[in-house]
Amino acid sequence: MKKNNLKFWFFLAPALLCFLVVVIIPIIVGFFYSLTDWNGLNVNCGFVGLKNFIDIFTRDSGFLNSLKFTIGVSFFSVILTNAIGLVLAILVTKKFKGSKFLKSIFFMPNLIGGLLLGFAWKFIFTEIFSSISKLTGLTFLNEWLGTTETGFFGLIIVNVWQLSGYMMIIYVAQLQQIPYSAKESAKIDGAGKVQTFLKITFPLLMPAFTIGVFLSIANSFKMFDQNISLTNGVPYHSTQMLALNIYNTAFTNNEFGLAQAKSIIFLIIIASIGLTQLLITKKKEVEM
Amino acid sequence: MKNLNHKKKFKINKLFLTFFGFILAAIYLLPIYILLINSFKTQKGFFENILSIPNKETFTVENYKNAFLKLNFLRSFLNSFAITIISVFFILLFSTMAAWILVRTKTKTSKVIFCLLSISILIPFQSTMLPLLMVFKKIKLLNPIGLIIIYIGFGVSFSIFILHGFIKNIPKELEEAAAIDGCGFFQLFFRIIIPLLKTALIFVSVLNVIWIWNDFLLPSVVLTDQKWKTLPLMTYNFFGEYSKNWDLATAALFICITPIIIFYSWAQKYIVSGMTKWSIK
């Protein structure tokens, strides 16, 4: 037993050690710094109690605006990426010529980093959209990314374009694990195509929903690269998501203490949304 | 006759699916296509018509030459390459060890550790960033080595989470048989487990490579020395300077995308097959 214990910790140690040093300890240290007026330049900083936390909800309206904006973008992104991901998955699991090729095309946007994607789409939204608008007279294509609304939709479009292929792969994996016999027996029992999908395939897909929704929530909430390259908060910080807001609080305003307090709230929000979702969808999973 | 009709219907269905699929694929590829045609145009051609393919007068490769130089491509490519490879190697080694022992040890501690690691996928980098920077600055690790350590720390939790799902599928009997044959613990790990996990390991490394190769935030705050700048950092600086020169910028985008597309054409079959073998539970 003792030898087993030693083995256990020996195999776990390298990963756990890095994880502790890089993730856990900084979070704990960060908690203390969130109670100070740390400006990032000198190490000495004064204790201010809960002032930073109170400021976030009373003086600094930027954070709350970013929170609202982030929730909005994430809400639509999560629904759309998973819905489109599922449609793509159903499409590519039908055996037809080129389905494999399509699978790799749909996944491809994931390879391009958020930063490059943001810049690429900025080009499309500003240059291409406005030239199409000039050609066709569609005024809603004009001045994209110049307003809060277009920035909002822009971020959602980019996020969905990137993540739906990722979700597709997750749903493909689960679809392939559904035994053919389950669908076949439903057919024999007289179930139509739609009914089979709703009553058999859909419930059996639940584990994939759990993972898909979980990963898309995590990805959308934490979105930073796409945000800084696509809108960078323009106009007037109104399209600034939480991650970018924290980044700017620290590196533009040099308010490290305040930024740390924000990041703790950020962490709590993400963790509680993610965990609630896990609990809800896990309950709905059926054993195969 | 009925059968024939059925077959015909089936064929039309397939035809429709193929058609629908390729329309969708075209939509997915359209942005990339538009970037590509503009990257080969002179600035004049760019202003004349942004939607057309370059013609004889407007075609140029000058953009690529310029962007290549401005990005300091060779240097920044090698920086990105070295950082990615080293980080991914250690992430794979450490997380395979951890995931295996976590699957094989059925104790409460093991379960709790696995749960904690899985949940930590949610932790945003921002909440550890500032204290981490302060500490790493003090111990003089604001350099590629520090960056690699951070990647390992952030990468292991997700990788363990994925690998756990694969290792569960390896029958225990196989390991027991090997143990009876006198196979030691380390031998078992390196000779039996690692080879069995080939697809899984490639799958996990692909996910990590994509993430680390493209990452912007971490190197932007950790790498202070100009000579270690990675490709995404150079791209960001580049866009700061040439944000209105889209002819040059589109070429730069393509230069950055190309290595990862080449990598993908090799790795794509492992992404799908890896995902299929992974048990979501």
Q: How does residue A188 score in pLDDT terms, banded at 50, 70 and 90? A: confident
Q: Which residues of B touch A242 (CB under 8 A)?
A: 126
Nearest CA in chain A to B92: A15
Q: Which residues of A fall within a CB distance of 8 Å from B280?
A: 170, 173-174, 207-208, 210-211
A101: closest CA among B167, B24, B276, B169?
A: B24
pLDDT of residue B155 exceeding 90: yes
Look at residue B281 in the predicted model and tell me its pLDDT.
46
**Could you read off the pLDDT of B14-23 as tens digits, one per residue?**
888 888 889 9
Is the pLDDT confidence value at A69 over 90?
A: yes
**Do B74 and B94 lie in a common domain?**
yes
Please answer yes or no on whether A113 and B135 come within 8 Å at the CB atom.
Answer: no
Do B10 and B98 lie in one domain? The reply is no
Average pLDDT rounded to a whole number, residues B226-251: 85
- Give the integer Cα–Cα distance in Å for A216 and A159: 10
**Is the Cβ of A113 closer than 8 Å to some Cβ of chain B?**
yes
Per-residue pLDDT at A114: 86
Does residue B183 share a domain with residue B165? yes
Cβ contact A19–B100 (<8 Å): no
Tell me the nearest-neighbour CA distance from A265 into chain B, angstroms: 9
Contact B259, B77 (CB under 8 A): yes
Q: How many CB pairs under 8 A join A and B?
A: 251
Residues on chain B touching A221 (C-beta within 8 angstroms): 124
Question: What is the arithmetic mean of pLDDT over B164-172?
Answer: 84
Domain boundaries, position B22: 2-61
Number of CB atoms found within 10 A of residue B182's CB: 7
pLDDT in tens, A22-44: 999 999 989 988 998 888 777 67
Mark whether B30 and B84 lie in a shared domain: no
At B212, the pLDDT band (50, 70, 90 cuts) reads very high
- Are residues B118 and B20 part of one domain? no
Distance from CA of A112 to the nearest CA of B (A): 6
Instruction: For chain B, give the secondary structure using H, E and C.
Output: CHHHHHHHHHHHHHHHHHHHHHHHHHHHHHHHHHHHHHHCECHHHHHHCCCCCCCCCCECCHHHHHHHHHCCHHHHHHHHHHHHHHHHHHHHHHHHHHHHHHHHCCCHHHHHHHHHHHHHHHCCCHHHHHHHHHHHHHCCCCCHHHHHHHHHHHHHHHHHHHHHHHHCCCCHHHHHHHHHCCCCHHHHHHHHHHHHCHHHHHHHHHHHHHHHHHCCHHHHHHCCCHHHCCHHHHHHHHHHHCCCCHHHHHHHHHHHHHHHHHHHHHHHHHHHHHHHHCCCC
Question: Do residues B124 and A227 touch, judged by C-beta distance below 8 A?
Answer: no
> Nearest-CA neighbor of A271 among B182, B119, B281, B216?
B119
Q: Give pLDDT tens digits for B254-263.
A: 888 888 888 8
Shortest distance, CA B193 to any CA of chain A (angstroms): 14
If you average pLDDT over residues A65-88, what whole number do you get?
Answer: 95
CATH number, domain containing residue B72: 1.10.3720.10
Contacts of B154 in chain A (CB under 8 A): 22-23
List of chain A residues whose C-beta atoms are within 8 Å of the C-beta of residue B105: 4, 8
DSSP for residue A112? S
Whether A18 and B124 lie within 8 Å, measured CB to CB: no
Residue B59 pairs with which residues in a beta bridge? Answer: B41
- Partners of A47 in beta bridges: A36
ipTM of the complex: 0.84
Contact by Cβ (8 Å): B209, B159: no
Residues of chain A contacting B112 with CB distance shorter than 8 Å: none
Calpha distance B207→A131 (Å, rounded):
37
Predicted local confidence at residue B9, as pLDDT: 66
Contact B227, B143 (CB under 8 A): no
State the angle between helix axes of A242-251 and A61-93 in degrees (0 to 180), rounded to the nearest 10.
140
Q: Which one of B119, B128, B264 has the shortest CB-CB distance to A26? A: B128
Instruction: Return d(Cα B143, Cα B189) in angstroms, integer.
Output: 33
Contact between chains at A18 and B152 (C-beta distance less than 8 A) = yes
Mean of pLDDT values over B45-68: 81
Q: Are residues A50 and A268 in contact, defined by beta-carbon separation less than 8 angstroms?
A: no
* Domain co-membership, B262 together with B152: yes
Mean pLDDT of B124-134: 88
Residue A53: is its pLDDT beyond 60?
yes
Query: In chain A, whose CA is at the least distance from the CA of B217?
Result: A225
What is the CATH number assigned to the segment(s) A30-284?
1.10.3720.10
Does B135 lie in the same domain as B37? no
Distances (CA, A) of B171 to A53, A185, B114, B190: 51, 30, 20, 16
- Within 8 A of B14 by CB-CB distance, chain A residues are 94, 96
Q: Are residues B51 and B69 in the same domain?
A: no
pLDDT band at A99 (very low <50, low <70, confident <90, very high): confident
Q: What is the pLDDT of residues A152-169, one digit of tens each?
A: 999 999 999 999 999 998
DSSP A236: T
pLDDT band at A2 (very low <50, low <70, confident <90, very high): low
The per-residue pLDDT for A197 is 82
DSSP letter at A142 equals T
Burial of B224 (0-12, 13-18, 19+ CB in 10 A): exposed
Is A83 part of the contact surface with chain B (CB cutoff 8 Å)? no
Q: Are residues B37 and B101 in the same domain?
A: no
Q: Do A266 and B18 touch (CB under 8 A)?
A: no
* Band of pLDDT at residue A287, cut at 50, 70 and 90: low
Answer whether the bond into residue A235 is a cis peptide, omega within 30°.
yes
Least confident of A45-49, A76-80, A90-94, A216-220: A45-49
pLDDT of B160 strictly over 90: yes
Q: With an 8 Å Cβ cutoff, are A113 and B215 in contact?
A: yes
Please check whether residues B49 and B69 belong to one and the same domain. no
pLDDT of residue B219: 93
More confident residue, A184 or A215: A215
Kindly list the domain boundaries of chain A, sorted by start residue. 30-284
β-pair partners for A233:
A239
- Chain B CB contacts of A21 under 8 Å are 149, 153
Question: Domain boundary at B61, B83, B100, which?
Answer: B61
- What pLDDT is recorded for position B6? 62
Mean pLDDT across the stretch B62-83?
90
pLDDT greater than 70 at residue A121: yes
> Tokens standing for A181?
């016999």
Give residue B8's pLDDT: 66
Which residue of A lies nearest to B14 if distances are taken between CA atoms?
A96
Q: Which of A116, A125, A224, A266 to mutate to test the interface with B (most CBs of B within 10 A)?
A: A116
Is the model more confident about B251 or about B269? B251
- From chain A, the residues in CB contact with B256 under 8 A are 113, 116
Please compute the mean of the pLDDT values over residues B87-96 and round it to a whole number.
96
Check whether residue B260 and residue B170 sit in a common domain.
Answer: yes
* Percent of chain B residues topping a pLDDT of 70: 94
pLDDT for A13 equals 94
Q: Which residue of A has its CA nearest to B212?
A: A113
The pLDDT of residue B241: 80
Looking at residue B5, its pLDDT comes to 61
What confidence category does residue B144 fall into, taking pLDDT thresholds of 50, 70 and 90?
very high
Give the rounded distance of the alpha carbon of B145 from its chain centre: 20
Local structure of A23: helix, strand or coil: helix
Total domain count for chain B?
2
Asked if B97 lies within 8 A of A14 by C-beta distance, the reply is yes
pLDDT, mean over chain B:
85
- B99 with B53, same domain? no
Q: Which of B45, B61, B77 is the last residue of a domain?
A: B61
**Cβ pair B207, B166 in contact under 8 A:** no
The reported pLDDT for the residue numbered B243 is: 73
